[in-house]
Amino acid sequence: MCGIVGYVGKEACADILVDALRKLEYRGYDSAGIAVFEGEKIKTVKAKGKINDGLVARLSEQPKLYATCGIGHTRWATHGEPSDVNSHPIGNGRVSIVHNGIIENYRELKAFLTSKGYGFESETDTETVAKLLDYYYQGDPVEAIAKALDDIEGAYALGIIFREHKNKIFAVRKDSPLIVGKGETESFIASDVTAILEHTREYYFMERNEIAVLDESGISFVDVHGDPIEKELQIATWDVAAAQKGGYEHFMLKEIFEQPDAVRNTVSPRVKDGMPDLSECGLTEEKIRGYKNIYIVGCGSAMHSGMVGKYLIEDLARIPVIVDIASEFRYRNPLVSEGDLVVIISQSGETADTLEALKLSKKKGAETLAVVNVVGSSIAREADMVIYTNAGPEISVCSTKAYAVQVAFMYMFAFAVAYARGAIDAEKCRQLTDSLLGVPEKIRLCLDNVSGYQYVASKIFNADSLLYIGRGLDNALSMEGSLKLKEISYIHSEAYAAGELKHGTISLIEEGTPVIVAATQTALWEKTLSNVREVKSRGAKVIMICRESAVLDENCADYKVGLPEAEDMFLPLISVVAMQLIAYYTAVQRGCDVDKPRNLAKSVTVE
């Protein structure tokens, strides 16, 4: 949801800003721009479209910029359509800003500023902040920022420059992510650390309403009264290679192939004496025994991983688990109360609805466990306990490895809960944990079947609509498969519990409708086959994702995607690779922009 960068140092900064923006393009890509100090003025260049199509083309039409300080932005539109004028940076020549987030009271601010004689060019909420800063500015930027923050309601990360304070950047945040990077002779602001990794790994997290001041001499932090703040320097563990494509055609493909390592990195460090050990976050056996209910909350793929968790925990630990979509949970007055555990799942750790669900759970007295990938993200910092999923940076908008590690953690969590509550003994727990440790190798085997996935893609890429069906754990898997496909290939698809089809949705089946069937669970095999026959006899083209060893007659499936042998319980984690690669190759065949699907952004920091 918009990416922000800023640079001050000794180098000409236009290319540095554009390069950093490219790394943040996953956060939004409907327009981009930069504003730099050129002579005594602020020079702004911005354009609708992806960075290379819009901003870079526009910059190439201009005389070269030699400025050594500036701010940049890549946008995911919330207020006002994608257009040149609605692109950031936004300002009036005296002050220029880049903004990520939403200004909730922008209408009131606009009315106030209009009454003071200000005019507005864009349809953005951001312009009200730029004009408000201008209104309060009397020579002291920190004072102007402090006054403006008092008036603003909503979420924001802001990079600000004032014409009269040449080669200085001011930055502030509330609820939208922002870090400040410290190089040898240069300083940065960025929405996330991947944008600046090739320059430095040292950075500071910004806390709410701290103001960062960056200039050629370095970085300082002050509070809204202008008093200095000491902050702890962080060192990023992600390296530059992790944030690059490394020879793959798309980040999504690279990230799919990284899954064996990602799952291993999530699981292995948390196995002690063959048992799952979650004590690093404070989740002791005693605590686990005490919880009355377990809730799992997230959005999109993160919520789907929670659904896998529900099946596993309920089956193994015999305790009810409530899974909810964060945007529903937070507005339905959930029954959460003291004594409950709420597990909050999020790759980015910044998803607005998920963050609010977390805050609500805490307010209602529950204990919260965040399962997040991005270290130091808002959700990680807000939760009572944190587990980092160690997937490394996920750049493609479509989640793959981040989902796999969330699911991998769900297994560990389910084993730990089942053992702590006495539903399984130590021997069983060790055996399950050992099987989980073997999953990365099975995922690797699944990755070998590229031609199989490409074949399936060639059979469905022309379809208008598709169904995904499965039962039990396969139902959760189908939901994830369907989401992947529609997200990146723009083919409509729906995931349905296989047994539920005949209660309405089966009427959608006509001659040639593709149906992708997840059938990994032995106990449900015959039941699923009956559902397959129901759709097949009505003309469906059936693609079965099942064990390689499964014997199928032609009345059953048109094509089989074979999976390696594994215990039933683990197959949904292994076979998600098939779902991801079918979606990937379908999108490629349709010529879609796989890493940056239309209308989407990676980190959804607005509700």
Residues serving a catalytic function are: 2, 602
Quote the CA–CA distance of 317 and 422 in Å, as a whole number.
8
- Contact flag: residue 348 with ligand F6R (CB under 6 A): yes
- Does 300 participate in binding ligand F6R (rule CB under 6 A)? yes
Instruction: Rank residues 5 and 397 by Cβ distance to ligand F6R and give the closer one.
Output: 397
Q: Tokens 């009572």 — which residue?
A: 384
Report yes or no: 390 and 265 within 8 Å, Cβ to Cβ: yes
Instruction: Give the position of tokens 């690059």.
Output: 244
Using CB under 6 A as the binding rule, whether residue 299 contacts ligand F6R is answered as yes
Near ligand F6R by CB under 6 A, which window of 55-63, 78-86, 344-352, 511-519?
344-352
CA 72 to mean position of chain CA atoms = 21
- Closer of 299 and 416 to ligand F6R (Cβ): 299
Toward ligand F6R, which CB reaches closer, 123 or 607?
607
Encoded tokens for 449 = 């079947």
- With binding defined as CB under 6 A, does residue 344 bind ligand F6R? no
Q: How many residues bind ligand F6R (CB under 6 A)?
A: 15
278 near ligand F6R, rule: CB under 6 A: no
Q: How far is the CB of 297 from ligand F6R (least distance, A)?
A: 10
Least distance between ligand F6R and beta carbon 377 (Å): 9
What 8-state DSSP symbol labels residue 65?
P
Q: Which amino acid is at 266?
A: T
User: Nearest-CA neighbor of 181 among 27, 37, 34, 4?
Assistant: 4
Pairing of strands 218-222, 211-215: antiparallel
Q: Which is nearer to ligand F6R, 106 or 409 (CB)?
A: 409
Q: At a CB cut-off of 8 Å and minimum separation 6, what does 99 contact? A: 2, 4, 73, 88, 90, 125, 126, 129, 156, 157, 158
Identify the residue among 354, 368, 449, 513 touching ligand F6R (CB under 6 A): 354
Residue pair 214/168 in contact (Cβ under 8 Å)? The answer is yes
Binder among 347, 368, 489, 531 for ligand F6R (CB under 6 A): 347
- Does 301 help bind ligand F6R (rule: CB under 6 A)? yes
Residue with the shortest CB distance to ligand F6R: 300
Asked if 371 and 344 count as a contact pair (C-beta separation under 8 A), the reply is yes
Q: How far apart are the first and last CA of the chain?
A: 11
194's torsion region: left (phi>0), alpha (psi -120 to 50) or beta?
A: alpha
Q: Contact 362/387 with Cβ under 8 angstroms?
A: no
Token pair of 283 as six digits = 């989740």
Nearest CA among 574, 557, 481, 455 for reference residue 521: 574
Q: Which position among 146, 262, 302, 579 is part of the footprint of ligand F6R (CB under 6 A)?
A: 302
Minimum distance of ligand F6R from residue 607's CB (angstroms): 12
Task: Return the CA Rg of the chain.
Answer: 25
Q: Should residue 487 be labelled a site residue for ligand F6R when binding is judged by CB under 6 A?
A: yes
Residue 398 vs 432, nearer CB to ligand F6R: 398
Nearest approach, Cβ of residue 135 and ligand F6R (Å) = 36
Q: Residues 578-607 vs ligand F6R: string with x where CB under 6 A?
A: -------------------------xx---
Considering only the stretches 102-110, 245-253, 343-351, 508-516, report the one whose residues sit in contact with ligand F6R under the rule CB under 6 A: 343-351
Q: Identify residues 394-413 at the interface with ligand F6R (CB under 6 A).
A: 398-399
Residue 503, class by beta-carbon neighbours within 10 Å (0-12 exposed, 13-18 middle, 19+ buried)? Answer: exposed
Least Cβ distance, residue 72 to ligand F6R (angstroms): 23
Q: How far is the CB of 254 from ligand F6R (least distance, A)?
A: 15
324 binds ligand F6R (CB under 6 A): no
Name the residue among 296, 312, 549 with its Cα closest to residue 433.
312
327 is a contact residue toward ligand F6R (CB under 6 A): no
Is residue 393 involved in binding ligand F6R (CB under 6 A)?
no
Helix (H) or strand (E) holding 412: helix 401-420
Return the range that interacts with ligand F6R (CB under 6 A); candidates 50-58, 113-121, 229-237, 298-306.
Answer: 298-306
Residue identified by tokens 């420059």 is: 161
The minimum distance between CB 391 and ligand F6R, in angstroms, equals 11
- How many residues does the structure list for the chain? 607
At its nearest, how many Å lie between ligand F6R and the CB of residue 39?
41
Residues interacting with ligand F6R, by CB under 6 A? 299-302, 346-348, 351, 354, 398-399, 483, 487, 603-604
